[in-house]
Amino acid sequence: MSKIRILTRVLVGAALAAAISTGLVWATPSSLSQSTLIGRATFRSFKVERKQAAVKDPVNGRLSGEAERTRRRRPIWEVEVEARPALDIATQTITFQPGGQSGWHSHPGPVFISVVSGTMTFYESDDPDCQPIVRNAGEGYVDVGKHAHLARNETGAPATNVVTYLVPPGAALRIDQPDPGHCFF
């Protein structure tokens, strides 16, 4: 093997080691949390569109309130999801003990977080004021996957989330990110 090839391999190895160690130094790992993957499956290319029109009251047969005002202008509810060429959907539960947190991280796709017990507080890395987004049991939080965020249990009781990820097939569900430096906790 030539000296140039050996030198190239050594330099590439050193660069990879530096990149990995830098990631480990700057990553913000989770603490006081327990994750359990419930399931993950790959769905081939699909498109789903649903619209729900105003629903009549079964007792008097009339549309009421907002349904009556909007029935001629637009559907009451609609959703659209499209995946090409495929999509993995994974679901897990994450329980945060009091003071527990996720560490700064991002996802390669959107994530739907349902707080099923307790209270969770979320922070976005692109919010220079680091304003808390508080969600209680029965409420949800959507992370569209465009920037890092952090989830914290700032209460004295455990909090449990059911988290659903929409990601490219085989992709990691979580990508550790450095602390953006503007949240003082």
CATH number, domain with residue 105:
2.60.120.10
* Host domain of residue 141: 27-48+83-176
Give pTM, 2 decimals. 0.76
Backbone angles phi, psi at 183, to 5 degrees: -105, 125
Would residue 171 count as lying in a domain?
yes
Would residue 145 count as lying in a domain?
yes
Would residue 130 count as lying in a domain?
yes
The whole-angstrom separation of Cα 117 and Cα 51 is 30
pLDDT at 93: 98
pLDDT at 30: 95
Burial 82-91 (b: 16+ CB within 10 A, else e): ebeeebbebb
What are the tens digits of pLDDT across the range 71-85? 555 678 899 999 999
Would residue 160 count as lying in a domain?
yes
Would residue 15 count as lying in a domain?
no
Would residue 150 count as lying in a domain?
yes
pLDDT band at 27 (very low <50, low <70, confident <90, very high): confident
Domains contained in the chain, number: 1
Question: What are 143's two structure tokens?
Answer: 């992370």
pLDDT at 72: 56
